[in-house]
Structure 1
Amino acid sequence: MENNVQISYSTLIQQLSTANELALDEEALTHVDKDNFLQYFTLNGSATYDAITGTVTLTPDENNEVGNFSLTSKIDMNTSFTLIGQVNLGSDPNGADGIGFAFHNGNTTDIGNAGGNLGIGGLQDAIGFKLDTWSNGYQAPSSDEDGSEVSSTDSNGFGWNGDSLKAPYGTFVNTSNQEITTKDGSTVQRWWAEDTAGSAQSLSKTDINGQFHDFVVQYDGATRTLTVNYTETDGNVLTWTTTVSDSYQAMAMIVSASTGGAKNLQQFKITSFDFKQAATVDVEYVDTTGKKIAEGTVSYPNGAAVNGTYETTQADVDGYTFIEMDDGSVTGAKSLTATGTLTQAGNNGTVIYVYAPAYTETTKTVNETISYIDQDGNSVASSHTAKPVTFLTVTNPVDGSTVIYYSTTTTDGTLDKETGIPTAAGWTKETNADFPEVANPVVKGYTAISNDAPDSDLTKVSAQTVDNSSNDLNFTVVYTKNASTVTTETRTVNETIHYVYKDGSKAADDYVATPV
């Protein structure tokens, strides 16, 4: 990084012009100026363009505005490019938020998050530069959705990193894929923007004077050096320099600004932009309504050039299942093949993967057992075990709604990936089910005396209704042994005593006792 370089802006422009003329001859660069600006850039949000002056008004001097312009094709990062223009940061030294420039690996249609992110946060693998006019402390995300699902205008939902210097200042910014803790303590994915360590330089508040300041971005494809020059009000030229990794082969470009509770008129005026268009494709992952649900990257095995090839892959997206490549019925555009050949410079089209909600299922089986015992706990008849009832709860991960099924013939919870309906036969869509009535067995010599099943009596266990919150049912029918049968018999017993001599003759009268 170089600070406070004293150089004439006219000298700088002359040097760049000479370099560009050589590059144009050698590389056949695309030349953009105020007259053909809208052929190569797309305006978004509050951004408007004045073709007479070549001025893009990113935000009017109004609160809560977001505007940007993005290059419709990617830049070949193996070739030098130069962007020459001017920036107007507004006339209120206490206004917000500033202007961000970003080169990134995402789609040419991607837009970074506003507010404290200055349109850089949320872009994939971005190398950004910002002229920040509002001091921001760290802001934890308020949304528990991953970054790709958060609106680009919802800066509080996305969150932002704290500034490395008191505003106003200029610095390089990088984004990296991080897990960030939200305000409620959950963890979410974010392409999180952080000031590049050691690159911040203070600006003077006198630069926020409603005037245009010369601004140049120059990239050397041979050394992969990216240089930013900004001319202060007093004519001093501030310079920032960084090196771009070899892994960046083709990069999208976007320039953005936003306002919030504080505001400013924020503008960029183009003089010229000379670059080589890379041959690229975009890739999108959408649900069946066309909503973006994930971010993806494209690889170029032979480089991002005409007649080269591109490769994309199907992503694993939590809560969703891939169903098809878009035939035009989802987004209105027919998808390119997942891999293919680059036929022209610039954007060759979009690979569109379509996903349906991945329904999740849980099962619970409820059993019913009836025991038949005597008063001592001994079994008097075989227990009754009912046919189990299995409940299947299907949850839609998008809105959290559930559908409940039950079955007594299957436990197979396989679902149709598009509809969430069970594929196995035997499921009934119902929130509860009944175990049928069971008659108490007749046990010889015993009589039922108690039954703890609800709404039942000594002759039966009544039908029992259960649902997916029910525990197993265990009932007990108690029997007692029948009393013994008593019989009676009457019999008279007599006693008679005979008295005789030794010779057998009678000696005295017989004694006859009272009968018993």
Structure 2
Amino acid sequence: MEKSKKHYKLYKSGKLWITAAIAVGMFSVTSVTAQASSSANAMTAGQPTQRVVPTQQVDTKSQLIDNKPAENVNTSDQSVDDTKLNQSVDEAKKANVAVTEDNKAAKTTEIQGTESADASAQVTAAQASDKADYAQQITDLNVAKEKEVAYEKAVNTGKKDNIDGKTQIATSSNTQALKLDKSKPVDESTPTGNIQPTDVYPGSDEKASPNMASSTKVWEYSGNQVIGATITKNWAKAGTIAIRDSSGQIVEKSVDLNETFHDFQVQNGNWSDTSDYHDQGIPKVTISSNAVDNVEMWNVNWQTTFWFTYSGTKQIVPISKLTGSNDDPKFYFLSASISGSLYTGAKNPTQWEDGNWQPNEREYVQTNDASTVVIQPNSTVGLETLAQNGVVTNLPHGMGYTQTGAVYPKTDDDDPDVYALQEGVSFADFNTDKPTLYLGAVPIEKSARWWHSNHNMNSDELAFVQKPKATYHKATISHTQVPIVTINEKINYVDEFENPIHTVYDTNNATNKKFVTITRTTADGNQYQETWVATGEVANPNIVRTTTKDVNTGKDVIDEVITNTGWTIADAGVFPAVRNPIITGYHVIKTTDAAQDLNETTNQTVTNAEPNQLREITVIYVHNNEKAIVSYIDDNTGKTLETKELIGKYGTTDQYRTAGTIKNYEDKGYVLNTDNPTAADNYPRDGITYDQDGVIQSFEVHLKHTSETISPSHPKTPGDAINPN
């Protein structure tokens, strides 16, 4: 038999008490009352015990007790040595690893059993489990130390304070809160604004930029109407945001991406010869139906204000609060890849000439609404002052993050993750929930002709390295030795003088009752006692209670297992009925059996509260009564002088006495007639002994009268003064 139950305790989260759904196995047991046997003398005096009977079914949960061990219970600590674990924790902390004690993972094993701690297999098993757990924790701490070295190197590579007030880092210790849907979710809702699209077509159309080939729809705005325009696009269910909810747990929620494009400026310094490529100086804005490669701008500088709303409620996501700490989410947003390429062709050519023309552009991005900029170590993006005479920018203080290398690999423009990890710039630690980005491009050589497009892509691949986080937890094992209460039944068989007349009936180790009272725990943390009873040669019981913390809820999870077979939950045990033995010549006249049954000792209900752990019963026997009819015969006349009825007991000598009566007749002149052949065996002078059980027997005493022996003063009527025997 192995019984187990799991339940959750009440726990506190913040200022709220939270109760989880609980399913606890409830046991119903029989509550009994018992009265101990009195002594054999008291039984003989007519004071039998009260019969012990079941009363009612009760819920063991109601039997709440104070958590106080019994006086005869020994408790010992059998926990595993944690010296090496403590040493590893100290070493990891000195190595700057973020080490915390994880109380949620702590484990407490409480073992209640009848064996000593040294002999308990459950203690040995718990120690082995905890020892292996400690060894794994030590390994994890050592690995964290190695990872910390790599982390420190990565997080400090290129770390500096820029003159625009932002801290530039090469990596981040936090995961990205934003996850964009990499299946490129489609939202074909038309952008809103103060101008209308000049054209609408699918991304597969030849008019579409290759960067928007995955779009199902593209909205194009072109011409001077773009200058001064405001255009807003919503991408529903663009991805998910990881946040902490009110209970402190990190959860993911679906979000919509919203962007407003505004404050467009015509870039000056563009190539103005329109003989072949007359469209190159015309402002153009294209917006995609997907949220990843979402916009492309031509010949303009502009501003983008973006924000996220929870799908359904449209409530703005507080990205300014997603600063992150260790494993908490942190919010980043990739504005665009920052591309640029030096002009290598002729000065002011009049037409397009293959081989002597290269884009003469330097894209940039900047914001006032973030305090951290993330740029990968292998990126050629940096902060520069881009203000030049005769060159229009919308950069705050003329400084922006831009491509400083000679050549940007255009083949990677369709991969937003490359934008983020190689040639992109990302902002973090926003101070508003609706940040504004300043984007555009300037010519590298303003005297040379140029045209420009800025492909704006978004990515969530911005968790570059995670700061090692190590946790440890302790395990506790305690062993409580509880006693087994053994109750025996003894039945004494005696006569009315308390002399034993039969072998005593006594239980042995295979027939007695064994009780163990253990302490269990309810779902709300209260404790109650539970009684288990067994009969026969059964294994020693143990209750093993392991308490851990649910890693998701922080609630106590208690797993209780009672091991070994032959034990059942009960307040009482019952000794079976025992038939009274048959003793020849005796019968039962009294018993201390509560049922007062003279044929048997009936079922005896016992509890662990029995005094002296012995249920003793006495059965009292007496001799069967014997009856004899004795007739005194006058052989002279053949008449019966008198008849007497005598009572005696089987097996005794001279119990039924006749000597006194015979003496009375002899005093009157009678003598025993020894010549009567029919009464050869019936001449008892001192008494008669009987050898049959319960049979009425008749006896005759024959007398003869001799006149010379009659006293003149003797009464004439026979038997007048005869002795009553």
Q: TM-score range by the shorter chain?
A: 0.3 to 0.5
Structure of larger gyration radius: 2
TM-score in terms of structure 2 length: 0.24
